[in-house]
Structure 1
Amino acid sequence: MVTANGGLNQQRVAVCNAVAIARLLNATLVVPRFLYSSVWKDVSRFSDIYQEEHFINYLTPDIRIVKELPEELQSLDLEAIGSLITDTDIRKESKPSFYVKNILPLLIQNRVVHFLGFGNRLAFDPIPSQLQRLRCRCNFHALEFVPKIQETGALLLQRVRRCPQPGLLDHYLVGPYAESMLKEKGGHSGKASKYLALHLRFEIDMVAHSLCEFGGGEEERQELEAFRKVHFPALTLLKKSSKLPSPAALREEGLCPLTPEEAVLMLAALGFKRKTYVYVAGANIYGGRSRLVALNSLYPNLVTKETLLSASELEPFKNFSSQLAALDFIVCTAADAFAMTDSGSQLSSLVSGYRIYYGGGKMPTIRPNKRRLADIFTKNNTIEWRVFEQRVRKAVRQTKHVQTRPVARSIYRYPRGNECMCFTE
């Protein structure tokens, strides 16, 4: 049994890792559950987001998946018998040998183990190629969104393009709704307008965890510290017991998320014109609407799922942050160009990997080198715009190449390799 933590994208990684571990241990997997989070506040079940029958059937050649524990095991006190395994019991990115040595004996003895809060707890290297391939199959093929999400995702794509013409990746993201939307509009064959999707990873959890400062003075410091005490108590304790780098040092090293204002400068320097349609993913930007003033001023054709959908169309997703994140995933993945402000976020990693896997090299992703950009931004009071453009473009150009997966890096972000997909040089 697996109960995955985090939001939609962390849960997706956990599910794929759980599938691989079930195969490794020759165990039956119970359809994963999702842990309620005080940050995400979403009670969605697996079947509320993904097509459960497709997940089970697609992976049948690889592992056995059931919807519930057998009746004779449901009454067991898993914590009392030592079969409840938390993230504190497993090191981050543990090797397969850890599970064989420590988890398999428990599984054989008690017939069931439950990974509670399971996340990024399986290494990417070294790992048998069949397990790596299975994680890839799970992420790119077994996890399909439910019709409710696909249908609304297709509606978003039609409206952001201002045309029902399907895009290159629509079939993989919204299934039959890619074609049905076209038929409903009488077979309209007009050319779809291009759009840029921008993932602003600037929610309060990211801002607080970074330990950076963003110009809000003492009021900001107190607000973020209060958030850390509730949601990141370990980080609060670490601050008290250790001397951590200053906010200025963190920014210099490129460890702070780009602010919306910095994102505007990056896009303008890269040549995105004022008329560009920009879809902004992410909810509850820290600082509220005032933080988006610069972005909105330079790019008036800025839209979000909240502005593209009516109140009644959004109602079924209200209070379900993971389902809303699934809509962002669809629109970002299908975009003509995708720009991220933090290359370490799960959404950005999964979206860029999906675009590589299905995009055939035609889906550009803008991944900033935050350390280089930080150096450029600190000089933006005196630098000439022409020089600023050149430096930003150089900083982004160095990260744009689609490369074979580096050793120990995520298969979900870097699917290009023999264990996941065929490719040619």
Structure 2
Amino acid sequence: MHAKNRIPSSGHSTPSPPASPLRSPRYRHGRKSGRFSPFQPGRTIAHRLAWLLLSVLLRRQGIFLFAPLIYISGMLLYMGTVSFDVVPVIKHRPAPGSVYRSPQLYEKLKIDMNADNSSADAISTIWKNSYKGGEWRPCVNKSFEGLPESNGYIYVEANGGLNQQRTSICNAVAVAGYLNATLLIPNFHFHSIWRDPSKFKDIYDEDYFISALKNDVRVVNKIPEYIMERFDNNLTNVYNFRIKAWSSIQYYKDVVLPKLLEEKIIRISPFANRLSFDAPPAVQRLRCLANYEALRFSSPILSLGETLVARMKELSANSGGKYVSVHLRFEEDMVAFSCCVFDGGEQEKDDMKKARERGWKGKFTKPGRVIRPGAIRINGKCPLTPLE
């Protein structure tokens, strides 16, 4: 059974599709002038060029096979014209504050500084009363109580320059008092740069030092014979602690005291900066007592100092005899140890490198140690120059 067909057949059983209707000649151009035509009214020149390029690529798809080859060939031709003998230098701008520029800054400020006619005496304000109307007064109250039996003897070697040695003496007094030990007069380590053979009594008044501390810390200038016989009368045979810098006072109590009770005498070398600043008030009190009361210069140094002070007062008549004393501490060892770079160029760097190796063999050349002078200066750890 066949479906009815209104179109007459010519003997074939398979129906034929209907014929497409004829279009008007004016509409036959529409297939070629669709919406992608580059000549469509309203299109810009850029749109037309893009359409032409896209149509060429779509009609000539084989060009995609040659595009990578063309690109690689072009790159090879370009690289062949580049000289590899010249390596471009990238200049990094130093971080603010990482370079020593004080001379340049001084040149900018010098005119204004010289033109300043202010008569105000800024130095005189230093001696005014402290914050909120307070007054300057000693913070050390002397003790007159008896001392308990000593736990043993402590012998320290104060290394470094004069400033480090003085700090070591104050720290030794504080540690000995805290551990209830007897302090042997500290020995000054012979400095490889200063080469000063002076002993404690050559710089400080030894008898006055012992007397000023008698109510707080026992101080002696000699170890009893019965103890020294155990070590063949040689202090280098005494057990030596090598303590890390800035150790806490609790470390001395937990680690050093047990050995002191066992041996009755211990040695600590080196001792510069071996006690933390963060210490209980009782420890700080002993530090201050040693620094401001017990340490007095020997007679020759004291006499010379009094002469210099009298001369300074005489020359400071305009300020009522008041003056400020400044120790620049800008010596070779100080600059070398800081690892800072100033304005001396390569010669300065070479000299400071030699000074570091001469004074602290291998300390600054250990594997893995990186020295960053710029970062040190940014952190404010460079010593001030005389100009600054």
* 1:130 aligned partner: 282
Distance 1:18 1:105 in 2: 17
236, 239, 242: which one pairs with 1:83? 239
Structure 2 counterpart SS, 1:69: coil
Larger Rg: 1 or 2? 2
Change (3 A) 1:59 1:193: closer
Q: CA deviation at 1:108?
A: 1.6
Change (3 A) 1:25 1:195: closer
User: 1:19-168 to 2 correspondence within 5 Å?
Assistant: 19-77=173-231, 83-85=239-241, 89-127=242-280, 129-162=281-314
Q: CA deviation at 1:49?
A: 1.3
Mapped contact 1:162–1:192 kept (Cα < 8 A)? no
Q: CA deviation at 1:241?
A: 2.5
Residue by residue over 1:164-184, the C-alpha shift from the partner in whole angstroms, topping out at 9 and shown as x without a partner, is 99xxxxxxxxxxxxxxxxxxx
Change (3 A) 1:232 1:203: same
* 1:214 aligned partner: 342
Mapped contact 2:243–2:268 kept (Cα < 8 A)? no
- TM-score, normalised via structure 1 length: 0.50
Q: CA deviation at 1:197?
A: 3.0
Distance 1:235 1:81 in 2: 26
Mapped contact 2:205–2:297 kept (Cα < 8 A)? yes
Distance 2:187 2:236 in 1: 21
User: Residue type matched to 1:134 in 2?
Assistant: L
Q: CA deviation at 1:234?
A: 4.0
Structure 2 gaps, min length 5: 1-154
Distance 1:101 1:223 in 2: 43
Structure 2 counterpart SS, 1:233: coil
- Kindly, what percent of the aligned residue pairs are identical? 40
Distance 1:151 1:113 in 2: 36
User: 1:273-284 to 2 correspondence within 5 Å?
Assistant: none
User: Residue type matched to 2:182 in 1?
Assistant: T
Mapped contact 1:158–1:164 kept (Cα < 8 A)? no
Structure 2 counterpart SS, 1:29: strand
User: Residue type matched to 2:221 in 1?
Assistant: K
Structure 2 counterpart SS, 1:158: helix
Distance 2:377 2:184 in 1: 43
Mapped contact 1:202–1:257 kept (Cα < 8 A)? yes
Mapped contact 1:31–1:66 kept (Cα < 8 A)? yes
Q: CA deviation at 1:124?
A: 2.9
241, 250, 253: which one pairs with 2:368? 241
Count of aligned residue pairs for this structure pair: 232
Structure 1 counterpart SS, 2:269: strand
Mapped contact 2:339–2:371 kept (Cα < 8 A)? no
Change (3 A) 1:198 1:126: closer
User: Residue type matched to 1:217 in 2?
Assistant: G
- TM-score, normalised via structure 2 length: 0.54
Change (3 A) 1:79 1:144: closer
Change (3 A) 1:71 1:206: same
Change (3 A) 1:91 1:150: same
Distance 1:92 1:161 in 2: 40
Q: CA deviation at 1:142?
A: 0.7
Mapped contact 2:238–2:267 kept (Cα < 8 A)? no
